[in-house]
Every structure is written in C-alpha cells, then in structure tokens.
Amino acid sequence: MKRTVVHLRTPLGDEVLNLKAGERVELSGMVYTARDEAHLRMQKDGIPFDPNGAVIYHCGPVIQGKKVIAAGPTTSARMNEISGFLLDTGVRAFIGKGGMGSTMRKQLEGRGVYFAFTGGCAALASSHMTLKGVFYEDLGMAEAVWAIELDRLPLVVGIDAHGNDIFEAARQHAKEAFAEFSRRAR
C-alpha cells in the first residue's frame, strides 16, 4: 500500500488543521531556525519576521559562507515552556525531534502542528535548504534565527491540531508492552 505525501508550502494556513499524526509531508518555502536563546530574544525584543503562517525549525545549523552545511533538528522538548507565545502571533508549525510536551500539545490544538524530522540526518536536511538571511546574528551560529528556504523537506506529522501525538502513542505502547512482559515473566 503506497502512502500519500502531503505537499505544503509556507506560509501555512488552515490546511494544517486537516493533517493527521503520522502523515508524511514534504514542506517547501521559508522556515526560521530557533533554539532556546532565540525564543527568549523573540519574547523580549519581538519576532524579526512575519509570524503569520510561519514555521519554526528547532535547529542550530552549521553555516559556511552563504551555505547551509548541516541542519539537523534539536530536541524540541527543551522549548516546551518558551514556544507557546509564537502560536499566539500566528506561527503554524514547529519542526524538531523527539516531540513536545503535553502543554504544547494542548496549545497546538486547533492552531498548528508539530513536524518531526529524524535526528542524525543533518546532511539530508541541508540538501533541501537554501540560506536566505539571518536575524540576531549576535547570538552566534547555533542560536541565531536563520531564514532558510526549503525545497520539499520530508517530514512526519508528530503532533496534529487535534491533540494526536505519535510520540505519546509510542510511549504508551511501550509502557503497555513492558507491563505485559513483566506480567508474563512472573
């Protein structure tokens, strides 16, 4: 059975509300990298790009000259407590690895999605990217906000706008399997 791939282009709109956890997506258009320090700076000084329909990539890319050399995702859960304000400004999606917590899952409901990209695939990610600019360069390469144009970056919907979460489902499945194993081992 061939699974379909949903093709999306930023800025994102209400189409993200129809995505389902586990669906495959190819994303094109502008994204903005942001890790811990960038989130804190945007809370303090404002968002330096138009947030309406924007996508935030939890990533500290390696930039050489005007080229993205590597751009693997960072652990998104680190941004659980400092990402919600971005949804309030119109941001529609986050990209990262490992999922986000229950607070963000609730905040995404009816507003946006979380896309998962596999850790360890930094070179693959960069092969789909063109560097377009930078904000907060004083934060350094890993923490600056880089404006990057994507060309069909392959992603999976990790958390959909209905609260479905592939990471939580996997944790629950593992917990149940371990309980069953423990029961049988007695």
Q: Which residues are catalytic?
A: 39
What tokens were used for 58?
């939890």
Q: Which residues of 18-54 are buried (b: 16+ CB within 10 A; e: fewer)?
A: ebebebebbbebbbbbbbbbbbebbeeeebbeebebb
Specify the 3-state DSSP secondary structure of 31. strand
Q: Are 82 and 104 in contact (CB under 8 A)?
A: no
Nearest to 114 by CA among 102, 132, 127, 130: 102
Q: Are 64 and 141 in contact (CB under 8 A)?
A: no
> What is the DSSP code string of 57-82?
E-B--EEETTEEEE-PBPBGGGGGGG
Specify the 3-state DSSP secondary structure of 159. strand
Q: Are 153 and 118 in contact (CB under 8 A)?
A: no
